Chains A and B, each alone.
Chain A
Amino acid sequence: MYLPDFEYYAPESIAETCQLLSQFGPRAKVIAGGSDIIVKMKKEVLAPEVLVSIKNLAELKKIEYVPGKGVVVGARVTHNDLYKSKLLAEKYASVSNAAGQMADNQVRNIGTLGGNISNAVPSADLPPIFIALNATVKLEGVNGERTMPLEDLFTGPGKTVLAQDEIITEVVIPDQKMTGSNYIKFGLRKSGALAVVGVAVAVEVENNVIKDARVALGAVAATPVRAKKTEEFLKGKTVTDELLAEAGVIASGECKPISDIRASAEYRTDLVRVFTKRALRKAIDEGHV
C-alpha cells in the first residue's frame, strides 16, 4: 500500500478543469474528497498520472434553492454538508438522513456528492434517494454542458456516460408533488458498513391514495435501478398494509443482486421486499424523512 507518484493540478475554474482533463486525456482523473480514488491508487486498482483537484471550485460547494428550478446541490458538497444542511432538513430530510448514514464521520467530512455519483458503485448511498426524487445531474466539459436525469448517468458498475473532459457540477432536485420520501440503508453494522441493500422511495399521497410513486434500489443490480413495476402497481391505490407488503414482493422481483462476501443474492432479494415496504410506510406517514 504505497501511493504512486502523480502530477497534481488544482485549477481555479470549471473551464480550466475541463481543459486540463481534455489535455491529459485518459492519463488524468478528477479528485474531489479522495476517499475513494486514493484508496484505489494505493491498492493499485487505478494509476492516474495526473490528478486534477476540484477543491478550488467554490461554486460547487453550494446547497441552495432556486425558485422555478429546485434545490441545487453542488458536486463538491460533502456528506456532512448534506447531513447538516438546514435547507435539506426542511425540504428533503430524506436526503440529509441518507447522507448521515454513510461511512463514518471522518469520511463524511471529506467524501463528496460528485464523487459518490461518479464512482458509480452499485452500493453507493446517495444515488437512490436522488433518483427517487427525480433529480437531474449537470455535466460540464470543454464543449459546453448537458443535463440529464441522474438515473441515465449510470451504465454499469463503475461506468457512467461522463466523457473524459467532463465533470459533474451539480445535482438538482426539482420542485415536485411528492409528499414524502425515504431512504433505508441496510449495512451489516451501524457505522462504517457499505449498503447490502439500499431502498429509496418517493410518493405522492392524497386522501390515503397513492397518486404517484418512485422506487429506486441500490446494491442489487449493476447500477442503481428503478422498480418501475412496483411504481405502476402502487399508482391509484389506497394505502393499506397489505398493499405495501405486496409492493415489497413486486420490488423484490425487480432486482438482480449478486452474491458476494457481504450477502447472498437470495438474502438481498428478500431485504428489498422488507425495506420497500418499510420505506413506503415511512414516506406515506411521515413525509420527507
Chain B
Amino acid sequence: MSVKVNKDFSYVGKSLDRNDSFLKTTGRAQYTADLKFPNMLYGKLIRSTVAHARIINIDTSEAEKLPGVKAIITAKDVPSMKWGLSPARFDENIFAIDKVLYVGDKIGAVCAVDEETVYKALKLIKVEYEELPAVLTWQEAAKEGAPQIFEEYPGNVNTEIHHKFGDPDAALKEAYYVRTDRLQGQRTYHAFIENHCSIGMWDGDKATLYSSCQSVHYLQYHLARVLGMKMGDLRVLKTHVGAGFGGKLDPTGLDFSALILSKMLGQPVKMFYDHEETFLNGHGRHAITMELTTGVDKNGKVLAHKFKAILDGGAYTGLGIASTYYAGSLLGVLYPIENYQFDAYRYVTNLPPCGAQRGHGQPQPRYAFEHHLDLIGEAIGVDPIDMRLVNARKNNTVTTAGYEVKSYHLGKANEMARDASGWKEKRGKLGLGRGIGVGNGGFVTGAGFCQYRTDLPHSVGMIKIYDDGTRAFVYSQAVDIGQGSDTVLLQMAAEAMGYPYEKCQMYAGDTDLTTLDFGAYASRQTLMAGWAVKRAGEDVKQKILEQAVEMFRESGRIKEGWAYIGNRELRPDDLDCKEGIVFVKQEPSLTLTFEEVARRYFVTKGVLIGRGWYHPGKLGGNHKGAAVGTSPAYSSATQIAEVKVDLETGQIECVDTWDVHDSGTIINPKLFHGQVHGAFSMGIGETIWEEVKFDDKGKLLNGNFSEYRLPTALDMPPVLSLTVEDSWEPNGPYGLKEVGEGATTPTMGCVANAIYDAIGVSMTELPITYEKVWRALKEKREKEQK
C-alpha cells in the first residue's frame, strides 16, 4: 500500500490512530442504546402486518390494561403534517393515516416501564384492516389498472427524469458498433450493526433527542418542522454511531415517537428497533432495471449512450428522487460522452421504502455500464483496460452536463491497477474457471446543494483554545459514523493551528454545543467540514501569531534577530507556528510556546476562538436535476478483481483484488485503506450474496444476518489499495477528495467482469449467486451439446 506523504505536514498524511479506537476496542464506547436516564421509559412501534390496507380500527384497550404500559399513540395523537427528504414529494406521516403501505409500515407506538412490557403490549394490540390489492414489483405497479398506492402518483410513477445532451440517435447511426444490453439489480440493505435507537426528553419547552443518525442538522430540521417547533427549541445529538451507509439519514418513527411520548409522559423515552425492524425500516438500495445502448468508434471510444433505468422505490419517496438522478448523473463524469440520453422512472410499490446506500443510485448502473463496456470491447476486439483508457476523463475538464472537474486521474488509476494486478499476463489466460475483471467508479465529494432550500453555509467550524492553551476543542456537527471523520477533522484542525494533534479534542454531532454541518452523506464531510475546521484553525493561528508579535516586542528578545527582518516592525506573517511552537521564520531559534501565547491571549482578550466557514458556491450544470451530481470535486477509481469459479457448483471465490484511487491528498492513509477494504466487502457482497427477499404477500423473508448473507472475513480476498500520488484537488482542503462512497462503485462491475472472464457467460442479474452461475453453466453446456 502506498500513499504520498507530504513531509512539510505535521499531521496531514499520517496514519494516526482513530481518536475513538481505544474506547471502541475496549467496549467502553456508548451507543445510543447503551444510554440510560433516570425514570426512562421504553417504546417500540406498532407495525403493519399487511402490505396494503385501509385501517378500519385499532383496538388498544387490552394493551392499555397491562400493568406498566404508559401510553399508546397512533395517528390521531400526533401532528398530521407530511414530511419527506425530497421537498416536492413530502408523502410520509409520522404514523399511517387511514392506509398502510407495506408490511412494517408505522401505525403507532407503545411506551412502557420496561422492554418486556413493551413486547407484551404489542401483542395485545389488534389492528383491523380492509386489505387492498398490493403491488410488489414495479412491473405490477406499471400495469394498466394497477392498484394506486398514492393519489399524487398516477400510475404509481413517483418520478421520471428525461435528460438529453447532444443527439444520441444521430450519433448511434454513425457509430462503428452499437450494442444494447439489459441488466437487473437487486434490493439490498445497509447492514449496519447498530440498530436505530432514539431517546427523547424535555425540560420545559426545550427538547433533547439522542438519535443514532447521520445528520443531526437534517433530523433537527425535519422534526422541528413536523412538530411545529423552533429549531433552537430542539437539541439533536448523537453518541458513537455504529455505521449508517445512508440508512440513518431519514428521520424514523422512533425519532418522532421518542419526542412526542416523552413530552406526553414527562419522562425520558427510549425507542428502539431490533435487526428485523431495521430491515423493515428499509431505505436501502433500489433494485434497478437497466437498459443500455451504446455506440462506439473502432477504438472503443463512446460516441453516444442511451440509458434507461427503472427503480423499484418501495412505499415512500424518502431520498428516492436523488437516488433516481444519481443513477444517471455521474456516468458522464467518468467518461466524457457528448451524446447522452438518460430516461428514468421510479415507481412506488408496497414494500419498505428504498433510498440511499453507499454510492447512492450509482453502483448498479456502474455494474451495468462496466459490464456493457466489456461486452462491447469483446465484440470489437479491444482489451477492457484499453476500452477504459480511451474513454477516461482527463484532468481539468468540463462534462457535457456542465460539471467542472478539476483533478481527475482515472486513466492513471487504470494503468496503475493494470500493472499492479499483472493484468497483461492474466486476462484471458487464466483458463476456464478463473478470471480477472476491471471496473471503474468514483463519486462526488459532497453535494453542491443542501437537501432543502436554504442559504445556509454547508459547514461551520469552531475551535476553542482552553484558557491556559493546554487543549484545543474542535466543534462541528459532522457525524462520525465509523468512517473516522472526527480523526481526520482533528488532523486538519491541528495542522492548520500548528498545534499538537494529541491535545485536540473533538466535539461533534450536537446541534446545541457544536457548529453547523449537514452531516455524513454524499461523501462530503472530509472536504466540507474539513474546510470549516481548517479555516477555524487558521483563524486560531492568526490570533496566536498576532499575540506572539506583542509578546516578542514586550519581551525585548526580538532585538537580536531584528536585522534579519529589516528596518520595520515585527509582523504576524514573520512568524509561524508548528506543533505548538511559535517561531520567527527567519530566525527559528526565537520561539514562544503556543501555550504561553494562548494563555496571554486569554488573560488580555478573553477566550481564544477560531471560526471557519464553508459554502461550495455556484457550481456547474444548469439542466433540471443538475443539483444531484454537481460537486466541488470528483474522485475516481479503478478496481480489479480475480475470481475462481467452481464449474460444477457455481461457487465463486474472490481470490485477489486491487484498488487504485484518485482521492487527492490522503489525510489519513490507514483510514483511507479501511474505507477501500470496507467498500470491497460491501461491493463483493452485493455482487454475489446480498438480496432482501419478500414472499408473495410482501412479508420480509430474510431480515437477519443468517439469511441476508454479508461476506465474512473468510470470504474476503486480500486487498491491495493504492493511490494516484500526484493527485491534488484545488477545491479540497489540503488537496483532498472523497473515498467513502466512490470506492464501492466499481466493485460490482469488476467482480461481474471477472466472473465473465472465468466462465464465458455474461451474468446480467445481481446478485450473481452460486446457483445462478451453476444454472448458466448448465444451460451453456446443454447448448453446446445440441
A interface residues, Cβ below 8 angstroms from B: 1-2, 104, 186, 188-194, 261-264, 267, 270-271, 274
Name the CB-closest residue of B to A275: B649
Contacts A188-B770, A189-B709, A189-B715 given; indicate if A261 touches B693 (C-beta within 8 A). yes
Task: Quote the shortest CB–CB distance from A105 to chain B (angstroms).
Answer: 10
- Chain A residues, CB < 8 A from B711: 189
**Contact between chains at B649 and A186 (CB < 8 Å):** yes
- Chain B residues, CB < 8 A from A261: 693, 701-702, 707
| B247-283 Cβ-contact flags toward A at 8 Å (1 or 0) | 0000000000000000000000000001010000000
**Contact between chains at A194 and B771 (CB < 8 Å):** no
| B18-31 Cβ-contact flags toward A at 8 Å (1 or 0) | 00000000000000
- Interface members, chain B 710-733 (any A CB < 8 Å): 711-715
| B379-395 Cβ-contact flags toward A at 8 Å (1 or 0) | 00000000000000000
> Within the assembled complex, what's the spacing in Å between the Cα atoms of A190 and B769?
14
**Contact between chains at B712 and A189 (CB < 8 Å):** yes
- Would you list the 4 A-B pairs with minimal beta carbon distance, nearest first? A190-B714, A2-B119, A191-B712, A274-B648
The residue from B116, B702, B713, B778 contacting A2, defined by CB atoms under 8 A apart: B116
**Contact between chains at A191 and B714 (CB < 8 Å):** yes
- Interface members, chain B 740-786 (any A CB < 8 Å): 769-771, 774-775, 778
**Contact between chains at B709 and A267 (CB < 8 Å):** no
> Within the assembled complex, what's the spacing in Å between the Cα atoms of A267 and B713?
26
Name the CB-closest residue of A to B122: A2
| B355-371 Cβ-contact flags toward A at 8 Å (1 or 0) | 00000000000000000
Let me know if B689 is at the binding interface, CB within 8 A: yes
- Chain B residues, CB < 8 A from A262: 707
> Within the assembled complex, what's the spacing in Å between the Cα atoms of A261 and B771?
12
- Chain A residues, CB < 8 A from B770: 188
Task: Quote the shortest CB–CB distance from A241 to chain B (angstroms).
Answer: 13
> Within the assembled complex, what's the spacing in Å between the Cα atoms of A2 and B120?
9
Let me know if B706 is at the binding interface, CB within 8 A: yes
**Contact between chains at A263 and B689 (CB < 8 Å):** no
Task: Quote the shortest CB–CB distance from A12 to chain B (angstroms).
Answer: 31
**Contact between chains at B116 and A192 (CB < 8 Å):** no
**Contact between chains at A264 and B648 (CB < 8 Å):** no
Q: List 24 A-B contacts (CB under 8 A).
A: A1-B274, A1-B276, A2-B115, A2-B116, A2-B119, A104-B712, A186-B651, A188-B770, A189-B689, A189-B709, A189-B711, A189-B712, A190-B714, A191-B715, A192-B705, A192-B709, A192-B712, A262-B707, A264-B771, A267-B771, A267-B775, A270-B778, A274-B648, A274-B649
- Chain B residues, CB < 8 A from A270: 774, 778
> Within the assembled complex, what's the spacing in Å between the Cα atoms of A227 and B706?
29
Task: Quote the shortest CB–CB distance from A45 to chain B (angstroms).
Answer: 14
Name the CB-closest residue of A to B114: A2
- Chain A residues, CB < 8 A from B715: 189-191
- Chain B residues, CB < 8 A from A191: 712-715
- Chain A residues, CB < 8 A from B774: 267, 270
- Chain A residues, CB < 8 A from B649: 186, 271, 274
- Interface members, chain B 645-666 (any A CB < 8 Å): 648-649, 651
**Contact between chains at A263 and B709 (CB < 8 Å):** no
**Contact between chains at A194 and B689 (CB < 8 Å):** no
**Contact between chains at B706 and A194 (CB < 8 Å):** yes
Category for how many chain B residues contact A: 20 to 34
Question: Other than the known A188-B769, A189-B689, A267-B774, what 5 A-B pairs have Cβ atoms closer than 8 Å?
Answer: A189-B709, A189-B712, A189-B714, A191-B714, A261-B702
- Chain B residues, CB < 8 A from A271: 649
- Chain A residues, CB < 8 A from B115: 2
Dominant secondary structure at the B interface? loop
Task: Quote the shortest CB–CB distance from B707 to chain A (angstroms).
Answer: 6
**Contact between chains at A192 and B771 (CB < 8 Å):** no
**Contact between chains at A193 and B116 (CB < 8 Å):** no
> Within the assembled complex, what's the spacing in Å between the Cα atoms of A274 and B771?
14
Dominant secondary structure at the A interface? loop
Task: Quote the shortest CB–CB distance from A34 to chain B (angstroms).
Answer: 16
**Contact between chains at A263 and B712 (CB < 8 Å):** no
Task: Quote the shortest CB–CB distance from B248 to chain A (angstroms).
Answer: 21
Name the CB-closest residue of B to A1: B274
> Within the assembled complex, what's the spacing in Å between the Cα atoms of A2 and B272?
13
> Within the assembled complex, what's the spacing in Å between the Cα atoms of A272 and B410?
46
- Chain B residues, CB < 8 A from A186: 649, 651
**Contact between chains at B274 and A188 (CB < 8 Å):** no
Task: Quote the shortest CB–CB distance from B637 to chain A (angstroms).
Answer: 26
Task: Quote the shortest CB–CB distance from B162 to chain A (angstroms).
Answer: 38
> Within the assembled complex, what's the spacing in Å between the Cα atoms of A188 and B773?
13
| B681-719 Cβ-contact flags toward A at 8 Å (1 or 0) | 000000001000100000001100111010111110000
> Within the assembled complex, what's the spacing in Å between the Cα atoms of A52 and B414?
62
> Within the assembled complex, what's the spacing in Å between the Cα atoms of A58 and B619?
73
Task: Quote the shortest CB–CB distance from A235 to chain B (angstroms).
Answer: 25
- Chain A residues, CB < 8 A from B276: 1
- Chain A residues, CB < 8 A from B651: 186
Task: Point out which of B649, B715, B769 has the most chain A C-beta atoms below 10 A from its C-beta.
Answer: B649
| B600-617 Cβ-contact flags toward A at 8 Å (1 or 0) | 000000000000000000
Task: Quote the shortest CB–CB distance from B757 to chain A (angstroms).
Answer: 22
- Chain A residues, CB < 8 A from B769: 188
The residue from B274, B701, B709 contacting A193, defined by CB atoms under 8 A apart: B709
The residue from B119, B706, B775, B778 contacting A192, defined by CB atoms under 8 A apart: B706
> Within the assembled complex, what's the spacing in Å between the Cα atoms of A162 and B34?
43
Task: Quote the shortest CB–CB distance from B244 to chain A (angstroms).
Answer: 22
**Contact between chains at B714 and A263 (CB < 8 Å):** no
> Within the assembled complex, what's the spacing in Å between the Cα atoms of A263 and B711?
18
Name the CB-closest residue of B to A193: B709
Task: Quote the shortest CB–CB distance from B196 to chain A (angstroms).
Answer: 15
> Within the assembled complex, what's the spacing in Å between the Cα atoms of A41 and B767?
32
Name the CB-closest residue of B to A270: B774
**Contact between chains at B707 and A190 (CB < 8 Å):** no
- Interface members, chain B 326-352 (any A CB < 8 Å): none
Task: Quote the shortest CB–CB distance from A128 to chain B (angstroms).
Answer: 18
> Within the assembled complex, what's the spacing in Å between the Cα atoms of A200 and B771?
22
- Chain A residues, CB < 8 A from B705: 192
> Within the assembled complex, what's the spacing in Å between the Cα atoms of A262 and B693?
11
> Within the assembled complex, what's the spacing in Å between the Cα atoms of A133 and B715?
31
> Within the assembled complex, what's the spacing in Å between the Cα atoms of A104 and B712?
10
> Within the assembled complex, what's the spacing in Å between the Cα atoms of A192 and B715?
11
- Chain A residues, CB < 8 A from B709: 188-189, 192-193
Task: Quote the shortest CB–CB distance from A226 to chain B (angstroms).
Answer: 23
> Within the assembled complex, what's the spacing in Å between the Cα atoms of A154 and B757?
45
> Within the assembled complex, what's the spacing in Å between the Cα atoms of A267 and B648?
11
- Chain B residues, CB < 8 A from A2: 115-116, 119
> Within the assembled complex, what's the spacing in Å between the Cα atoms of A192 and B709?
9
> Within the assembled complex, what's the spacing in Å between the Cα atoms of A270 and B782?
15
> Within the assembled complex, what's the spacing in Å between the Cα atoms of A234 and B289?
49
Name the CB-closest residue of A to B651: A186
> Within the assembled complex, what's the spacing in Å between the Cα atoms of A192 and B771?
18
Name the CB-closest residue of B to A103: B706
> Within the assembled complex, what's the spacing in Å between the Cα atoms of A261 and B706?
12
Task: Quote the shortest CB–CB distance from A252 to chain B (angstroms).
Answer: 12
**Contact between chains at B771 and A263 (CB < 8 Å):** yes
> Within the assembled complex, what's the spacing in Å between the Cα atoms of A191 and B705?
12
> Within the assembled complex, what's the spacing in Å between the Cα atoms of A287 and B771?
31
Task: Quote the shortest CB–CB distance from B297 to chain A (angstroms).
Answer: 42
Task: Quote the shortest CB–CB distance from B506 to chain A (angstroms).
Answer: 33
> Within the assembled complex, what's the spacing in Å between the Cα atoms of A264 and B707?
15
- Chain B residues, CB < 8 A from A190: 712, 714-715
- Chain B residues, CB < 8 A from A267: 771, 774-775
- Chain B residues, CB < 8 A from A188: 689, 709, 769-770
Name the CB-closest residue of B to A266: B775
Name the CB-closest residue of B to A248: B648
Task: Point out which of B119, B276, B770 has the most chain A C-beta atoms below 10 A from its C-beta.
Answer: B770
- Chain A residues, CB < 8 A from B119: 2
- Chain A residues, CB < 8 A from B707: 261-262
| B611-653 Cβ-contact flags toward A at 8 Å (1 or 0) | 0000000000000000000000000000000000000110100
Name the CB-closest residue of B to A3: B116
Name the CB-closest residue of B to A104: B712
